[in-house]
Structure 1
Amino acid sequence: MEKVRVYVADRPAEVRQLLERSTIWPLATETISISSNEDAPTTATLVDHLPGHPLPSLPENGWDLLDRAAEMEKLWLDQLHADSMGDLLCIGSSCRIHPEAKLIPPYFIGDDVLIGPDCEIGPYAVISQGALLAGANQITRSHVSPHSYLGPVTALEDCLLVGSTLFNRRNRARIDRIEAHIASDLSGTHPVVPLKDRLLALKLYLTSRSSQGSSPETFHTFDGLDLRGNPGHGLQVRRSWLPLVWKGKMQLFGVLPRSREQFESLSPDWQNIISHATVGVFSYADCQGCHSPDEPDEALHAVYQAALPPATLRSAIIDFTRNLKPADLSPS
């Protein structure tokens, strides 16, 4: 076998990114976005469980889905440590593990992980790539996501930690924006902005008319970005965002930023898709005449954009920005 085609209806962009970073060499993979599982070819195999360990019950809600993922991870860890090479495969490269830390199998530690003194990892603990455990942490039946920081003297049991968000499966509790000294995201919030996008943003800023009068209001997005001007006001606030592009703090092209209220008005599936999408000054929705997250069709275009590789719609959005008139970005 040389190539596998993966048909994905649920967050295809994330699956594509994971497969691109995988090390299944020399096996090539192709990710194809579909609207539902029924659209996959009849010859395709549904992969919703580990080989040899089917899980017949389907999740009825988000918590059931987390439980199902944890059970699959438990089976995988048992299988990993049952292998004669398990001890060599369960710790990634470039890890720094304090000699006073205690590792209790089964467990898995990804690449570039830092584990401080007096930590107890396991059983059934997964510490993903780039995570940092400060010290005296106890991780049992829990998963720490990539580039997550966990402060000292903190215990996780039946939990999922994603940056500064904690899911406690036992108590069915979710805590957002935990204090940074307890848990935080180490991945960074600003991906590299291409130089050509910075120059285009500077050109748009200089050719558009500056606003007169008082400064726009400050707008706080659901994912922690502070902007001048409310995205609900359409194109008229975009000029004030352009300086963030040439400073490298915001992408020129991406889905439109939205408030916590606008985000929570979406379905859980769409929230999952948009929460992982790159935010930008101009979006594919702009090309379709939807310039505000309050417009009913904007979220549909945002989900469509988020499900595709970033380069797919780039030319269409560039054409839109080139056709803008100076007055389009100026408050009336």
Structure 2
Amino acid sequence: MQFEHLGAHPRIHPTAVVAPTAVLSGDVQIGPECQILHGAVITAEGGPITLGEHVIVMENALIRASASHAVHIGDHTLVGPMASVSGATIGDEVFLATGTRVFNGARVGRRSEVRINAVVHLRTVLPPETVVPIGWIAVGEPLQILSPDRHEEIWEAQKELDFPGYIFGIDRDTPDLMVQLTERYGRSLARHAHDRPSD
């Protein structure tokens, strides 16, 4: 299904194939020869999403842009089943395996591989041809790639990246952080109440 959101309609190249159960919402541009499979959700929440040529978005993947974080996915890139890309730039010929997560402000270099259930954290930069092993976490710039059992080191790097401040504009030390976060984000998402089917 396709939806107009905030006055913008998805634009799909005539050679692209979008499964009937995929959802495209807002300022989404799908390039030539792309394949968007069943259950994929590509939603532009105020910022644009562009997919280059021959991009494959597999089943139940999520691609989301915000007003402050657009998404660009380069040519010949594969976004695996149940993977998630939020507000990030993905280079050409990148492999994002099943269950990977790429967060806002991240940049994944050309021909990189983010393997099954691995994470590229907020504002992290992967140089070209980087491999993030299965289940590992890439964090920061300069880049650190850490195994999940190294939580304390990961958290040290994450604190500096300031997820609530960078994404929601809220200080982490705010006493009612989740109250403010959910109310602010909820108001933003409520703009979908005025979406209209466009296909």
Please, what TM-score do these two structures have when normalized by structure 1? 0.31
Rg bigger for which structure?
1
Q: Which has the higher strand share?
A: 2
Q: Higher relative contact order by CA 8 Å / sep ≥ 6: 1 or 2?
A: 2
Q: Which has the higher helix share?
A: 1
Please, what TM-score do these two structures have when normalized by structure 2? 0.49
